[in-house]
Amino acid sequence: MKICYLGIGSFGFCLASLLSQKGYQVTSWTTKEKLAKDLNQLKEHPFLPGCRPQGNMKFTTNLEEALDCADMIVESVTSAGIRPVFSEVLSVKTPTCPIIITSKGIEQDSGLILPEVVIEVLGEKVRPLVGLLSGPSFATEVIKGLPTSVVGSAFDSEVTMLLAETFNTPSFRVYPNNDIVGVAFGGALKNIIAIACGISDGLGMGCSAKAALMTRGLHEIRKLAVACGAKSETIHGLAGMGDLCLTCSSSMSRNYRFGFLLAEGLSPIAAKEKIQMVVEGAYTCKSTLQLGKLLDVSLPITKVVQKIIYEGMKPKDAVYYLMQREIKEEHL
């Protein structure tokens, strides 16, 4: 199988390596000429110290070359980059092979999950080809062969099974799931809650506060996801609760680190510069609140994260705001 991989960030490089080591021929595309050149010369990835290309991997800035004769397209860019990247793909050709999304987010203004963005760009005819891989998986752990379990989903059941078979390894277990909407929302919204948990830990609020944030955060995710057509069971599985637990509890999570740095007094711009990678939760909280307003779904944690990042609210004031909200009966 020939695989075109779009994006060579840390997670993209990690999954491309996984696929290459399974024997697939992987051509990874990037807009960064120096990165492609360095990796073709078997130098280590800049965000993954000690990790060099293995197996049958090739790196290029030529999108037409990457797409040529591809049996599968896999994406690892950013939420904001999905639309422009697939617009470039369309300028080369309309894919007729499976298209697997691994980015996690909700597009701003449109409120579309990322698979739907791809369909809107490429046309409704590609819907049966589009799938999504999501779940608790840090690139630095996956590339070391440490065990993890994730979820694969698609609009077509055959693509779901192909996705699972293609990515599954002895240490990277892929569970098929037929709820692509739930898988997408779980992966996207957990990043917002991870920012909140990073802020909580940065303020020294303790383990009890973080447990409450994670539990109520899961409730927020479920409410909005179900309102958009997802199954609540999916949110309680690997794509929701599993990914939430991972992202909210480790400094390896860029969203958690971002929140922690905000609590330490850094501005959102300074925190992003220090992390040097995209903080998807900062992008997704805007689109999440847009959807919540449209569907009349209350999202208090997302609201204060938005206020801290974009409206200058102080993290300590956000804690006070949440704790002073009207008491209501817990509904799960």
Q: Which residues contact 311 (CB under 8 A, 6 or more apart)?
A: none
Half-sphere exposure of 101 (CA within 13 A, CB side): 32
1 exposed, middle or buried (CB, 10 Å; 0-12, 13-18, 19+)?
Answer: middle
The Cα 247–Cα 235 span in angstroms is 15
- What is the structure's pLDDT at 61? 97
Q: What tokens does 215 get?
A: 């539990």
The reply to whether 328 belongs to the active site is no
Decide if 122 contacts 94 (C-beta within 8 A): yes
The Cα 242–Cα 240 span in angstroms is 6
- What is the structure's pLDDT at 203? 95
Half-sphere exposure of 309 (CA within 13 A, CB side): 24
**What does each C-alpha distance from 151 to 11, 17, 316 come to in angstroms?**
16, 19, 36
The Cα 135–Cα 151 span in angstroms is 6
Residue tagged active-site, from 58, 190, 223, 303: 190
Q: Show me where the domains of the chain are located.
A: 2-178, 181-323
The Cα 73–Cα 94 span in angstroms is 12
The Cα 236–Cα 186 span in angstroms is 9
* Architecture of the CATH domain 2-178: 3-Layer(aba) Sandwich (3.40)
pTM to 2 decimal places = 0.95
- What is the structure's pLDDT at 327? 75
CA dihedral 182, 149, 45, 66 (to 10 degrees): -60
- What is the structure's pLDDT at 214? 95
**Phi/psi zone of residue 66: left (φ > 0), alpha (ψ -120 to 50 degrees), beta?**
alpha
- What is the structure's pLDDT at 54? 87
Question: Yes or no: is domain 181-323 CATH 1.10.1040.10?
Answer: yes
Strand order across the beta sheet in which 57-60 lies: 57-60, 25-29, 2-6, 72-75, 99-101, 130-134, 148-154, 172-176
- What is the structure's pLDDT at 331? 67
Distance of CA 212 to the CA centre of its chain: 23
Reduced 3-state DSSP string for the chain? CEEEEECCCHHHHHHHHHHHHCCCEEEEECCCHHHHHHHHCCCCECCECCCCCCCCEEEECCHHHHHCCCCEEEECCCCCCHHHHHHHHHHHCCCCCCEEECCCCECCCCCCEHHHHHHHHHCHHHHHHEEEEECCCCHHHHCCCCCEEEEEEECCHHHHHHHHHHHCCCCEEEEECCCHHHHHHHHHHHHHHHHHHHHHHHCCCCHHHHHHHHHHHHHHHHHHHHHCCCCHHHHCCHHHHHHHHHHHCCCCCHHHHHHHHHHCCCCHHHHHHHHCCCCHHHHHHHHHHHHHHHHCCCCHHHHHHHHHHHCCCCHHHHHHHHHCCCCCCCCC
Task: Extract the residue ranges of the chain whose pLDDT is less than 50.
Answer: none
